[in-house]
Each structure stands twice: as structure tokens, then as C-alpha cells.
Amino acid sequence: MSERLQPGDEAPAFTLPDADGNEVSLADHRGRKVIVYFYPAALTPGCTKQACDFTDNLELLAGAGYDVIGISPDKPEKLAAFREAESLRVTLLADPDKKVLDAYGAFGEKKNYGRTYMGVIRSTIVVDEEGKVERALYNVRATGHVAKIIKDLGV
């Protein structure tokens, strides 16, 4: 498990396929702020709530200069089904080998009902226009998280 990111760190570069198989890089967003959020699995209740919350607030965030990217270990085909089923407008990227999840400290040991296992740690990283970490939030809740980010960012 890699270290968690801290404000001021250089955000790890990445290029991943989106729901349509097109390559998307963090570098494509240079000059804009980017909210990169990591979630365990498409088409699950908590992840659906979070993705819908980001979609519902996308215009507000975009108007304040933020792009939103969701990353999960799902394959592009599942992300496309997720996008269609929920009418999502956020960019969803596939990281099936979990390299980007690991680089961002969003994959590691989790505990649930007394059981310890490896999994996706629901996390949100805000990257500034220069590619530096502005905020790094780990173990966030799916519900209410987007409203909290909007409040914290003063959007």
C-alpha cells in the first residue's frame, strides 16, 4: 500500500480508459482544478449515490473551475453501463490493475465487520491547476460527501 497523499504533493500522473475506451490523462486537465474521486464499484448503492451527487452538482463545480473524474477498478464496459443506467455526466475512468488507485493511496487494507481485507478506500483528491494536491480526503462517506466538498471549497 502506498502512502497517502498530502496537500502540496505532486499529483501522480495517469492515463486511463474512460467508459468509451478513450484515453484520459490528468495532464489533459492542466490549467483547471480537478476533483479526482475513487470509489469501489460501479452499479452499487453507495457509489451510485456519490456519482449521482457529483453529476447533480457538475454545473456548479464546472462553473467554479473544477473538472470531476471518478476512478474505480471496473472495466470500461461496466462504467458505460453505469453511466447509461444512472444518466451520469462525470468522467468515469477504469483502473482494473489498481495502479492509479495505489499511487493515490486509495487502495489498501480495510476492516469491515471484524474482517480485514484489501480494497478500494473511498477517497477524494483535489488537484490544483498546476497538478499539485490541494486536498486529500480518505475514508469519506458516499452520502453527503459532495455537499461537504462544495462547502469546504467555498463553491
Report yes or no: 18 and 28 within 8 Å, Cβ to Cβ. Answer: no
Cell numbers found for residue 123: 477517497
Cell numbers found for residue 135: 486536498
Chain-centre distance of CA 19, in angstroms?
Answer: 14
Q: How many CA atoms lie within 13 A of 151 on its CB side?
A: 5
Cell numbers found for residue 124: 477524494
**Measured on CA atoms in the order 70, 76, 79, 80, is the torsion positive or negative?**
positive
Q: Is 52 a catalytic residue?
A: no
Cell numbers found for residue 89: 455526466
Of the residues 26, 35, 42, 47, which is catalytic?
A: 47
Helix 76-86 with 45-56: angle, nearest 10 deg: 60
Catalytic residues: 47
